[in-house]
Amino acid sequence: MSAVPSLPQSNPLSRLQLHKFGGTSLADAGRIAAAARLAAPLAGGASVVVVSAMRGVTDALVALAAVARGGGDWTPGWRALQARHHEAAHAIAGTDTGTLIARLDAEAAALHADLGALAFATEDAALRLSERIWGHGELCSAWLMHAALGGEPAGWARLDARDVLVVHGSEIGMHVDREASLKCLAGWRARHPQAHVVATGFVARTPDGHATTLGRNGSDHSATLLADLFDADAVTIWTDVDGVLSADPRLVPDAVCLSALSYAEACELAYFGAKVLHPRTIAPLQARGIPLSIRNALAPSTRGTRIDAQGETARSPVKGLSIVDDMAVLELTGSGMAGVPGVAETLFAALHAAGVSVTMISQGSSEHSICCVVRAPEAARGRAAIEDAFADAIAGGQVEGVRLETGLCVLAAVGDGMVGSQGVAARLFDGLAQARVNIRAIAQGASERNISVAIAQDDATRALRAAHAAFWLSPQTVSVGVIGPGNVGRALLAQLSEVIPALRARAGVDLRLRAIASSRRMHLGDAALDPDTAGALLGDHADACDLDAFAAHVRADHLPHAMIVDCSASDAVAAKYEDWLAAGIHVVTPNKHAGSGDWTRYARIVEARVTGHSRFMYEATVGAGLPVIVTLRNLLDTGDTLQAIDGMLSGTLAWLFNSFDGSRPFSDLVREARALGYTEPDPRDDLSGLDVARKLVILAREAGRPLSLADVAVESLVPEALRELPLDEFLQRLSELDTPMQARLDAARAQGRGLRHIARLEAGGDASVGVRALPADHACMHTRLTDNLVQFTTARYAENPLVVQGPGAGPQVTAAGVFGDVLAIAHALGARTGWRHA
């Protein structure tokens, strides 16, 4: 087979490059050939290629060894493995397969003998045979890669790592005897002077010459050990992902590939479960300063992740987050521990003797308790060991005992940028708090590169996504449900469709529409719904509306934040706010029923948002898109004192009285407003003044007045005789409004005044809604068309009241007000502000 042509490499001056290929990169002959092209040496340079077994082979060998040890028939599995390697050999070597097949058959014969001996071996002999059997896949892969690279004619030698890599067991795993290994390698090199080497990963030998392995997932470790022994200039581990990711992509779909890490960062992430790195991979390289690249063999054009002494400065102090599952907390408590030397020593000695590894340690300065996080399968053994070690102290009452809590995991935030940076822990804890994740234990080393927290296992995905977004490593994801696809709801969906892509790209906000409902139907989607077409999903085929199921879907456990936007005018929907807010679901609404309805329900809603750590936003209930409520809050929060509120709070009634100058009957104006869509289908809903009264109640409650709708003196512009008529008959008799209204206008003009429909809250709490005759210099006499106007008279704004004025009606304006509340919540959750200029 001809030599494989070289590919461009990143460092043409490197003397020796080491490449490591995992099982996925060697799954079949095609993958092996592609890997050979990636590993082709530089002109004038040398290469060492370390290989794993073909994908799935090691698992098959472990299973075969178990069958053989149990006396079962292992020959079908053995033949299947031999056939798989033969098939790859024929594809790689073509017609010139004789030598390669002979080499593979020799390995297969040795495997056959080992499997046959297992059933009759002693325990010690069986362990040695099993270690040899488990490494068989690497032996065959090395021969296949050797052939794919051109073999001896192309200057390639094949190294069985068991000939040079000498390791011995220790309490912290396999440890290489570097001096012995260097001596073995020197002898091997004297016999194999070729410039390039294909070596087996995973396998090694003990000092007494027995075959062993570095443990599952140990191939990367063996590669870096060989890089040290061969004095490599650089190492590339080829895998099936683009590099080291900022989080597990199965849990955080928006995880990003990290372009560079320091050795320290990589070690922390490896220990805490970064799947692409074995925890012991980094140490041999760190000692020698050899850089490591993690790259994707299936997408070799991607840059991957480089790991070296420096790493690189990132915009976020945290580069990656990892989760370690299936953990437990052991807590030793007792007042007799305070100030007593040796307590921690005794505790950890007991755990050491029981063979229990400690992942996290936490102790308060009071010394009243000390807790450690351990792996759940070891927890009961650890508790028994601690109780035994402190038996006398427990019996004497100095120590209360050992508490065991299971069902936990550990979330670790890692990054060199954390060192000396203020507020990193605050961002992490705030992100978890916003996602309603309770922290059971905290640990941070003096290096400041790692903050670890123990949390409930059930919160793992939500916590990881919330923390990932808190450090702007991914968009802040909010699961959104919209109720009420009427005029305002449709306008809101259109605005969402227009702005969502920019919010995600520039502000780091992912408003993910996952549910939509009308009064009768609902559609729940696991994937994000398209706001443009979401309304069409509510046809007859949709599910019947179930608000509890709707809320449960929006409050998805795997997403950190949830929000329901209620664009209906339903009191039944408002009745659900308390439960939603208590469950941690943020609520945004222009629906006035919650804010102006029953006082006890309103008080429960206010309390629910505190207990649920959620937000209830309702700016659009009063002035559509006008900043009325936020202005009132700012006045009161800064210590101002409210004296009165006057306002035109209905766009419909504002238009009517701005237009009513006596030249046309009042009834004609009502009919025109209805034709223009300014009124409700039944104009009496506007003329009754109840909608304005509800808005006034909302403002009064915001100002701390326990006002209810029954407390407002409301003047209805509909004569009593017309209030209960069918709509058609009412419209026919609409002219009965004209004479009394004209008389009021004439009386006002006689005093130099004009008529406006006004809501007023007095300093003492009296509230009224109705038509008032106002002087010409009153602010409400200078509004336009459907403008709303709210005038705040306060201690600071006594002589010249503060006025908020602008369009107060229309679905687009109201939807914009709702959208503003949605964004306010997103920003409070940690989204980047100033996104338009990012």
What would the pLDDT profile of 715-746 be if each residue is shown by its tens digit?
999 999 999 999 999 999 999 999 999 999 99
Does the pLDDT of residue 389 top 90, yes or no?
yes
CA distance 220 to 218: 5
Sort 764 into a burial class: Cβ within 10 Å, 0-12 / 13-18 / 19+. exposed
Tens digits of residue pLDDT in 274-309: 667 777 889 899 989 999 999 999 999 999 999 999
Q: Does the structure show a pLDDT above 50 at 11?
A: no
Structure tokens at 71: 């006396």
Q: 57 and 122 share a domain? A: yes
Which pLDDT score is estimated for 447? Answer: 67
The pLDDT assigned to 154 comes to 93
Q: Per-residue pLDDT averaged across 167-194, rounded?
A: 88
- Residue 390 pLDDT level (bands cut at 50, 70, 90): very high
User: Which range (64-73, 95-104, 687-696) has the least confidence?
Assistant: 95-104
Question: Do 214 and 329 belong to one domain?
Answer: no
Query: Is 419 strand, coil or helix?
Result: coil
**Cα(first)–Cα(last) distance of the chain, in Å?**
55
List Cα–Cα distances, 501 to 9, 33, 504, in angstroms: 37, 41, 5
Q: Residue 4 has what pLDDT? A: 37
How far apart are alpha carbons 180 and 208 in whole angstroms? 12
DSSP 8-class letter at 9: -
SS3 733: coil
464 and 573 assigned to the same domain = no
Q: Which of 470, 504, 531 is the last residue of a domain?
A: 470
What is the structure's pLDDT at 132? 95
Per-residue buried b or exposed e for 661-694, using 16+ beta carbons within 10 Å of the residue's own CB: eeeebbbebbeebbeeebbeeebbebbbbbbbbb
Alpha carbon distance 436, 612 (integer Å): 8
159-168, 251-260, 543-552, 619-628: lowest mean pLDDT where?
251-260
The residues facing 401 across adjacent strands are 333
Output 516-520 pairs: Cβ under 8 A, ≥24 positions apart: 516/481, 516/482, 516/483, 516/485, 517/481, 517/482, 517/483, 517/484, 517/545, 517/547, 517/550, 518/483, 518/484, 518/485, 518/545, 519/484, 519/545, 519/568, 519/570, 520/544, 520/545
CB–CB of 172/85 below 8 Å? no
Listed in sequence order, the residues at least 6 apart from 758 whose beta carbon sits closer than 8 Å to its beta carbon are 646, 647, 648, 769, 770, 771, 772, 774, 780
CA distances from 330 to 374, 391, 406 (A): 7, 16, 9
Q: Residue 1: pLDDT band by 50, 70, 90 thresholds?
A: very low
Residues 586 and 724 in one domain: no
Please report whether residue 89 resides in a domain. yes
Cα 197–chain centre separation? 43
One domain, residues 662 and 800: yes
Would the pLDDT of 835 be above 50?
A: no
Global model pTM greater than 0.85: no
Report which residue type is found at 94. G
> By the 8 A CB rule, do 80 and 121 touch?
no
Beta strands 292-296 and 305-308, pairing class: antiparallel
- The sheet carrying 369-375 orders its strands as 358-363, 369-375, 320-333, 401-414, 450-456, 439-444
CB 640 within 8 A of CB 796: yes
**String of b and e for 619-655 (b: at least 16 CB within 10 Å)?**
bbbbbbbbbbbbbbeebbeeebebebbbbbbbbbbbb
- Taking the C-alpha atoms of residue 117 and residue 125, their distance in angstroms, rounded to an integer, is 9
Average the pLDDT over 322-349 and give the result: 87
pLDDT category of residue 171 using cuts at 50, 70 and 90: low
Q: Half-sphere exposure (CA, 13 Å, Cβ side) for 437?
A: 33
Residues 136 and 214 in one domain: yes
Per-residue pLDDT at 351: 95
DSSP 23: T
What six digits make up the tokens of 125?
Answer: 């002999």
303 part of a folded domain = no
- pLDDT tens track for 560-595: 899 999 999 999 999 999 999 999 999 999 999 999
Structure-token pair, residue 465: 């996504």
Structure tokens, 718: 């509909």
**3-state percent breakdown (helix, strand, coil) of the chain, nearest 5:** 45, 20, 35
**pLDDT band per the 50, 70, 90 thresholds, residue 836:** very low
Q: What is the mean pLDDT of the chain?
A: 90
CB 144 within 8 A of CB 32: yes
- The encoded tokens of residue 222 equal 């063996």
Query: How far apart are the C-alpha atoms of 25 and 22, rounded to whole Å?
Result: 5
CA distance 3 to 147: 10
Q: Which of 20, 319, 592, 695 is labelled catalytic?
A: 695
Q: How confident is the model at residue 631 (pLDDT cuts 50, 70, 90)?
A: very high
Q: What is the pLDDT of residues 509-557, one digit of tens each?
A: 889 999 999 999 999 998 899 999 999 999 989 999 999 999 999 998 8
User: For the chain, what is the domain count?
Assistant: 4
pLDDT of residue 344: 86
The identity of residue 278, as a single letter, is H
Alpha carbon distance 619, 386 (integer Å): 57
Question: 32 CB contacts (<8 Å, ≥6 apart)?
Answer: 26, 88, 92, 141, 144, 145, 148
DSSP readout, 482-504? Answer: EE--SHHHHHHHHHHHHHHHHII
Same domain, 656 and 595: no
In a domain, 455, yes or no: yes
* Domain-embedded: residue 339: yes
- Please determine, for residue 170, whether its predicted confidence score (pLDDT) is greater than 70: no
Instruction: Tell me: pLDDT of 833 over 70.
Output: no
- Per-residue pLDDT band for 173 (boundaries 50, 70, 90) equals low
Identity of the amino acid at 377: P
Res. 754: pLDDT tops 50 = yes
Question: In this structure, are 692 and 824 located in the same domain?
Answer: no
Helix-helix angle 123-134:136-148, to 10 degrees? 20
Does 609 map to a domain? yes
In this prediction, residue 275 carries a pLDDT of 65
Q: Domain of 747: which CATH number?
A: 3.30.360.10
**Crossing angle of helices 57-69/98-118, nearest 10°?**
40
Secondary structure (3-state) at 159:
strand
The pLDDT of residue 658 is: 93
Of 440, 470, 500, the domain-final residue:
470
What does the block give as tokens for 624? 């559509």
Mean pLDDT of 196-200: 97
- Tokens standing for 17? 């490059």
Co-location of 676 and 722 in the same domain: yes
Q: Which two tokens stand for residue 409?
A: 């995991």
Domain span holding position 553: 476-621+818-832
3-state secondary structure of 131: helix
Domain match, 406 and 490 both: no
Rg (CA), the chain: 37
C-alpha 304/C-alpha 286 separation (Å) is 19
**Tokens of residue 310, six digits:** 């420096």
Identify the pLDDT of residue 338.
Answer: 73
Cβ(718)–Cβ(679) under 8 Å? no
How much is the pLDDT for 830?
Answer: 67
Which of 7-21, 223-237, 341-355, 495-509 is predicted least confidently? 7-21
Confidence of residue 122 (pLDDT cuts 50, 70, 90): very high
Has residue 457 been placed in a domain?
Answer: yes
Given a contact cutoff of 8 angstroms between Cβ atoms, the answer to whether 237 and 223 are in contact is yes
pLDDT tops 50 at residue 371: yes
**What kind and span of H or E run contains 51?**
strand 46-51
- The CATH number that applies at residue 828 is 3.40.50.720
470, 493, 511 - which closes a domain? 470
Spell out the residues 6+ positions from residue 118 whose beta carbon is closer than 8 angstroms to its own: 65, 68, 69, 126, 129, 130, 133
Are 447 and 540 part of one and the same domain? no
Residue 761's beta-bridge partner residues?
Answer: 645, 767
User: Is 671 in the same domain as 571?
Assistant: no
Domain presence at residue 612: yes
Kindly give the interhelix angle for 57-69 and 136-148, rounded to the nearest 10 degrees. 150
Percent of the chain with pLDDT over 70: 95
Cα–Cα distances (Å) from 777 to 218, 657, 753, in that order, read 85, 16, 9
- pLDDT recorded at residue 273: 56
Please give the Cα distance from 714 to 711 (Å, whole number): 9
> Domain for residue 143, yes or no?
yes
CA distance 618 to 535: 23
319 flagged as catalytic: no
CA distance 627 to 641: 19
- Distance from CA of residue 77 to its chain's centroid? 43
pLDDT tens column, 461-479: 999 998 888 887 778 889 9
